[in-house]
Structure 1
C-alpha cells in the first residue's frame, strides 16, 4: 500500500492544483478550512446523539472529545439501531455542515479545478466510520467504486471529501487509485452499498491512502476509483462529502441536466395520531381555542 499526501508521482514545483487534478484525478488541498469550524460541527453532531440518550435515560459521556462522541453514538446504536441510523442521518441536515460545503473556499476550489458554473449534485453526505459503529445487517465500508455512475451529470463533475476528525493511515482513510479517471466509466458488479468496479486494470496495489487533518480537503474526479480504508484505529472517523456538476459542460447541457436522484415524501402519518390539536397548542397556545 503506497501512501501520498497529494499524488503518486512527484509534481513539478510550479504545478497548480488543477495540473495535479488533471494528471492524477485528485488533489489534496491542505489547510483550506478553519479547524475550529469543524470542531463546532462535530460538537453539534454529538449533541444530537446526546439528546436521544437523554430521552432514553441512558448514560452520557460528557465533553467534546472523539472518545465521548463515539461512546455516545455506540450507546445509542446498542439501544436502538434504527434510532441511531435516524440520528446519524440527521447530522447531514445541520445548517453548519451545509454552510461549510457551500462556503466560498469550497466554491473557489471547485472553480479553480475547472467547474465553470458549479451546481450542487446532491445533498450533503456524512461518513461516520468506526468498527464500534457497525450497523447490524448493513454495509460498513464502501467498496471500490466511481461516483459518476450515481451522479450521471457533467463529465468534469467533482467530489469533495472533507474530514472533521484527523485521518491517519489507520483510521479508515479514503483510498484512491491515481489516474483511474483516465479509464472512463468502468464495468461494475452489484453490492449492497453501491455498484463495485470490476475491471482487471484496477488492482489492489494501486490503491493509495490519503492521511488528512481537519481543514484539509480532497477533490477528485467523479470517475476516480476510490473506497473506504479497511484498517481502523479504534476512534471514530468523520468526514462530509459533497458533489458538484458543471452547468456549462456541453454534454450536461445537451442532455437537459439529467439527475438520477429521486427525492420523495410520504403524507401518511409516521407517528399514528400525532399531532393532535393539544400537541399543536404546546407550540401555539391559542391553537384550538374558539374565537
Structure 2
C-alpha cells in the first residue's frame, strides 16, 4: 500500500477505498456486540423470529426501548471506541496528512432499514457534506466502514469524487445533516460493494448520500470523524466544536417518577 499515492488520491478525489484494511473477524465482532444489546430487550419482551422480525417488533411495540438500545450502541459500545483509536488506523491518518488526528465527534454506528424508521431521513441520508456540522480542520476526514458484507442492494454510500473542491456548500443543518443543492451530473458517481474489513476514507467536504436499500437486510455500518489539531485555519478559528451532548430532563423525570 503506497501511502504517498493514497494521500495524493485523497487530496485530488476526496475519497479513497481500502480493501481488507481491517481483519474481518475484528469488524464482525462489533456488529455482534451491537446486536447483543438489542437481544437483551428481545429476551425481556419474549420477542421471537429472525433478527429483522425481532427488530421490527421492538420498533413497533416498544419504541422507547428500541431508541434506548440505539443510544447505548452509539454512546457506549466499547468495541466501537477501540476501533476508532486502532493504531493501524491512526498511523494511516498521519500518513494521509493529519499530523495530529483527534476524534471531533463520538463514533457513530448505524443500523438502517426502511421498516425501522419513522421517516426517510432516519435511514437514508440526503445529499450532504459533513464539514458544516463539524467545523473541523480543512483536511478533516470521515472513516466509514461496513460491519457486514455489503452489495449494492444494501444501499452503501454514494460518493461524488472531486466535489470536496467546491468548499462548503451550505451553512444550514436540518435533521442533523448539512443538506446541499448539488447537480449529480457534474461529478462522477461512485458506489461500491464492500466487504468486512474494507474502509472508505473521505474528505468532510465531499458530497455524498445514502444509497437505496432494495433488499430486506439491515445495513450495519459505522463511521468516525477526525480533525487535524495542527491545521492552521482550525487553530486560527479557535477549535470550534458545534456538537452538544446533554442529558434529557424529560427522561430523567419520567424514570424517577416510574421508580418512586
TM-score norm. by structure 1 comes to 0.80
1:211 aligned onto 2:193: yes
Note the alpha carbon deviations across 1:243-266, whole angstroms, 9 max, x for none: 000000001111111110112225
Q: Which runs of 5+ in 1 are unaligned?
A: 1-12, 62-67, 277-291
Q: Which runs of 5+ in 2 are unaligned?
A: none
Distance 1:83 1:20 in 2: 43
Partner of 2:235: 253
Cα deviation, residue 90, structure 1: 1.4
Distance 1:137 1:207 in 2: 22
Over aligned residues, Cα RMSD in angstroms? Answer: 2.3
Cα deviation, residue 212, structure 1: 0.8
Distance 2:117 2:165 in 1: 34
Partner of 1:196: 179
Distance 2:174 2:254 in 1: 30
Distance 1:21 1:87 in 2: 35
Partner of 2:78: 95
Cα deviation, residue 122, structure 1: 0.4
Q: Are the structure 2 counterparts of residues 188 and 233 from structure 1 closer, same or farther at C-alpha, using a change threshold of 3 Å?
A: farther
* Contact map agreement 1:131 1:234 (CA 8 A) in 2: no
Q: Are the structure 2 counterparts of residues 204 and 144 from structure 1 closer, same or farther at C-alpha, using a change threshold of 3 Å?
A: farther
Partner of 2:34: 45
Larger Rg: 1
Distance 2:115 2:223 in 1: 22
Q: Are the structure 2 counterparts of residues 81 and 138 from structure 1 closer, same or farther at C-alpha, using a change threshold of 3 Å?
A: farther
1:25 aligned onto 2:14: yes
1:222 aligned onto 2:204: yes
Distance 2:115 2:32 in 1: 19
Distance 1:32 1:23 in 2: 21
Q: Are the structure 2 counterparts of residues 137 and 112 from structure 1 closer, same or farther at C-alpha, using a change threshold of 3 Å?
A: closer
| Greater percentage in helix | 2
TM-score norm. by structure 2 comes to 0.89
1:271 aligned onto 2:255: yes
Distance 1:138 1:113 in 2: 32
